[in-house]
Amino acid sequence: MTDPILTIKNLTVDLPEGGDRPHAVEKLSVDIAPKEIVCIVGESGSGKSITSFTTMGLLPKALKPSTGEVIFEGQDVLKLSPREHAKLRGSRMAMIFQEPMSALNPCYTVGDQIEEVFEQHTSLSKAERKAKTIKLLDEVQLPEPERIYSSYPHQLSGGQRQRIVIAIALALDPSLLIADEPTTALDLSTQAQILHLFKELREKHSAGIMFVTHDFDVVAEIADKVVVMKEGKIVEQGTAEEVLNRPKHPYTRKLIDAVPRRTGSVNAHMTEKHKVMEVLGLNKTFHTKGTMFKPSRTVHACKDINFIVHRGETLGIVGESGSGKSTLVKCLIRLEDPDSGSVIIDGSDIAQFTPKLLHPYRKSIQIVFQDPYGSLNPRRTIGDQLVEGPINFGEDRAHAMERAKKLMEIVRLEQDALYRYPAQFSGGQRQRICIARALMVEPEVLIADEAVSALDVSVQKEVLKLLNEIRDEMGLTVLFITHDLRVAAQICDNLVVMQNGEIVERGNVDEVFGHPKHDYTKKLLSAQPGQNWNVPDISKLPPVDPALLDQALNQPMGAVR
Amino acid sequence: MSETSITSASTEKKASAPKKQKTPVHQLSPRAKMLHRALRHKGLLFGLFVMAIIVIVALFAPLLAGHDPYSQSLLARMKPPVFLGGTWEHPLGTDALGRDYLARLVYGARISLLIGLIAATISACIGTFMGVLAGYFGGRIDLIVTFFINVRLAMPVVLVALAVVALFGGSLLVVVSVLGLLLWDRFAVVMRAATMQVRKLEYVAAAQVLGASLPRVLIKDILPNVMNHLIVIFTLEMAHAIILEAALSFLGLGVQPPTPSWGLMISEGKEMLLFESWLITIPGIALFFLVLSINMLGDGIRDVTAPEGRN
Nearest chain A CA: its distance from B306 CA (Å): 12
Mean pLDDT of A197-204: 83
Task: Please give the Cα distance from A293 to A274 (Å, whole number).
Answer: 53
pLDDT at A27: 84
Residue B109 in contact with residue B120, Cβ under 8 Å? no
- In chain A the domains, ranked by start, together with CATH numbers, are 1-92+175-259+535-561 (3.40.50.300), 104-171 (no CATH), 272-529 (3.40.50.300)
B15 and A15 in contact by Cβ < 8 A? no
At B103, which CATH number?
A: 1.10.3720.10
B155 within domain boundaries: yes
Q: Is residue A556 over pLDDT 60?
A: no
User: Cβ contact (<8 Å) for A44 and B18?
Assistant: yes
Outline where DSSP puts E strands in A274-398: 275-288, 297-310, 314-318, 340-345, 348-349, 365-368
Buried b (16+ CB within 10 A) or exposed e, B131-145: bbbbbbeeeeebeeb
Tell me the per-residue pLDDT of A271-299, one tens digit each, with 9 for 90 and over: 567 888 888 888 888 877 766 666 777 77
Q: Closest CB to B17: pick one of A20, A60, A254.
A: A20
Residue B225 lies in a domain: yes
Q: What is the pLDDT of residues A439-483, one digit of tens each?
A: 888 888 899 888 888 788 888 888 888 888 888 888 888 899 988
**In this predicted structure, what is the pLDDT of residue A547?**
62
pLDDT band at B146 (very low <50, low <70, confident <90, very high): very high
For residue B9, the chain A residue with the least C-alpha distance is A429
Check whether B6 has a pLDDT greater than 90. no
At residue A268, does pLDDT exceed 60? no
Predicted local distance difference test score (pLDDT) of residue B225: 86
Predicted confidence band at B308 (pLDDT cuts at 50, 70, 90)?
Answer: very low
Q: What is the ipTM of this complex?
A: 0.73
In percent, the amount of chain A with pLDDT more than 70 equals: 91
Q: Supply φ then ψ for residue A67, to 5 degrees.
A: -135, 170
C-alpha distance from B28 to closest chain A C-alpha (Å): 7
- The pLDDT of B233-259, averaged and rounded, is 84
CA atoms of B296 and B292, how far apart (whole Å): 6
Q: What is the pLDDT of residues B258-287, one digit of tens each?
A: 888 888 888 888 877 787 888 888 888 888
Whether B22 maps to a domain, the answer reads no
Distance CA B44, CA A375 (A): 32
Among residues A466, A472, A475, the alpha carbon closest in space to that of A413 is found at A466
Domain contains B138: yes
Residue A186: φ, ψ to 5°: -105, 160
What is the DSSP-derived secondary structure letter of residue B80?
A: P
**Cβ contact, residue pair B5, A16, below 8 Å:** no
Model pLDDT for residues B182-192, shown as the tens digit of each residue: 989 999 999 99
* Phi, psi angles (nearest 5°) of residue A230: -145, 125
Model confidence at B9: pLDDT above 60: no
Q: Residues A412-442: pLDDT tens digits?
A: 888 888 888 887 788 888 888 998 998 888 8
B147 domain residue, yes or no: yes
Pick from A45, A254, A437: which is nearest to B14 by CB? A45
Percent of chain A with pLDDT over 90: 0
- B19 to A49: CB separation less than 8 angstroms, yes or no: yes
User: How much is the pLDDT for A442?
Assistant: 86
What global pTM score does this model have?
0.77
Which residues 6+ apart lie within 8 Å of B105 measured at CB?
B92, B260, B262, B265, B282, B283, B286
- Note down the domain range covering B166: 57-69+77-309
Please indicate whether, in this complex, the C-beta atoms of A365 and B5 are within 8 angstroms of each other: no
In the predicted model, what is the mean pLDDT of chain B?
Answer: 81
Cβ separation B19–A16 shorter than 8 A: no
Contact between A424 and B29 using a beta-carbon 8 Å cutoff: yes
Q: Which residues contact B78 (CB under 8 A, 6 or more apart)?
A: B93, B94, B95, B96, B98, B272, B276
Question: What does the pLDDT read at residue A267?
Answer: 53
Q: Among candidates A286, A292, A232, A277, which has minimal Cα distance to A66?
A: A232
> What is the Cα–Cα distance from A161 to A113, expressed in whole angstroms?
12
Q: What is the pLDDT of residues A307-324, one digit of tens each?
A: 888 888 888 898 887 788
So what's the pLDDT on residue A543? 67
Q: Is the pLDDT of residue A552 over 60?
A: no
Q: Rounded to the nearest 5°, which phi and psi values hold at A91?
A: -95, -50
Q: C-alpha dihedral over A348, A352, A358, A362, to 10 degrees?
A: 80
* Cβ separation A428–B208 shorter than 8 A: no
Residue B10 has pLDDT above 70, yes or no: no
B27–A363 C-beta distance less than 8 A: no
**What is residue B135's predicted lDDT score, i.e. its pLDDT?**
92
Q: What per-residue confidence (pLDDT) applies to B122?
A: 94
Instruction: Give pLDDT, residue B129.
Output: 93
Q: Which chain A residues are within 8 Å of B6, Cβ to Cβ?
A: 557
Closest Cα of chain B to A16: distance in Å? Answer: 7
**Of A477, A440, A419, the residue nearest B211 (C-alpha):** A440
Nearest to B209 among A47, A333, A560 (CB): A333
pLDDT greater than 80 at residue B23: no
User: Which pLDDT score is estimated for B138?
Assistant: 85
Q: Which residues of B touch A46 (CB under 8 A)?
A: 14
Any domain includes B222 = yes
Residue B34 lies in a domain: no
Helices (H) and strands (E) in chain B, counts: 14, 0
Q: What is the DSSP letter of B83?
A: G
B177 located within any domain = yes
The pLDDT of residue A539: 67
Option in A426, A440, A556 nearest B15 (CB): A426
- Residues B25-48, mean pLDDT to the nearest whole number: 76
The confidence score (pLDDT) of residue B40 equals 82
Residue type, B275: F
Whether the Cβ atoms of residue A189 and residue A524 lie closer than 8 Å to each other: yes
Q: Is A3 helix (H, G, I), strand (E, B) or coil?
A: coil
Contacts of B125 (CB under 8 A, 6+ apart): none
What sign has the CA pseudo-torsion B174, B175, B180, B185?
positive
- Least confident piece of the model among A104-113, A385-394, B77-86, B294-303: B77-86
> Residue B3 above 50 pLDDT?
no
- B130 pLDDT exceeds 90? yes
User: How many domains, in total, are found in chain B?
Assistant: 1
* Chain-chain contact of A379 with B225 (C-beta, under 8 angstroms): yes
**pLDDT > 90? residue B131:** yes
Helix (H) or strand (E) holding A496: strand A494-499
pLDDT digits (tens, 9 = 90+) for B193-217: 999 988 888 888 888 888 888 888 8
Query: What gap in Å lies between CA B261 and CA B273, rounded to an integer?
Result: 18
Q: How much is the pLDDT for B13?
A: 39
3-class secondary-structure state, position A182: coil
Would you state the pLDDT for residue A501?
Answer: 84
B216 contacts in A (CB within 8 Å)?
A: 392
* Chain B residues with CB-CB distance to A385 below 8 A: 203
Q: Is the pLDDT confidence value at A180 over 90?
A: no
pLDDT at B143: 93
Q: Name the nearest CA neighbour of B116 among B239, B234, B231.
A: B239
Q: Flag if B209 and A231 touch (Cβ within 8 Å).
A: no
What is the nearest CA distance from A206 to chain B, expressed in angstroms? 31
pLDDT greater at residue A243 or residue B191: B191
B205 contacts in chain A (CB < 8 Å):
335, 367, 369
Contact A534, A222 (CB under 8 A): no
Query: What are the Cα distances from residue A62, in Å, to A95, A97, A180?
Result: 21, 21, 21
Band the pLDDT of B63: cuts 50, 70, 90: confident
Instruction: Look at phi and psi of residue A69 and say left if phi exceeds 0, alpha if psi is from -120 to 50, else beta.
Output: beta
pLDDT of residue A560: 35
Please state the rounded mean pLDDT for residues A201-221. Answer: 84
Mean pLDDT (chain A) is 82
